[in-house]
Amino acid sequence: MKWLTALLLVLLCMLQYRLWFGKHSIPDYVAMEKEVQDLRKQNANLKQRNELLQADINDLKIGLEAIEERARNELGLIKRGETFYRILPSEQ
């Protein structure tokens, strides 16, 4: 009976050691959960970015207004007959 108790106690200690310090232990699980949460946040940000890019692509495919807007904002282009005014901020 004494040997059986000692054997079961040693077995319990081995299992507890493996649970807390071994491969695939509880700390490993917690670290993986945190990594999964971080990756989910990153994926949500990338998904939002992809949706914005897809909306830009659809705008560019549909009409010339989006192309004209991009040309004005990014390249500084103006139409014929328009007057371009540049407003500089004050030096204060």
The radius of gyration of the chain's CA atoms, rounded to the nearest angstrom, is: 32
Q: Are 60 and 67 in contact (CB under 8 A)?
A: yes
pTM recorded for the entire structure: 0.51
What pLDDT does 44 receive? 97
> What is the mean pLDDT, run by run of 10 residues, along the chain of 92 residues?
88 82 84 96 97 86 78 82 82 76
Q: What is the 3-state secondary structure (H, E, C) of the chain?
A: CHHHHHHHHHHHHHHHHHHHHCCCCHHHHHHHHHHHHHHHHHHHHHHHHHHHHHHHHHHHHHCHHHHHHHHHHHHCCCCCCCCCCCCCCCCC
pLDDT, residue 92, reads 72
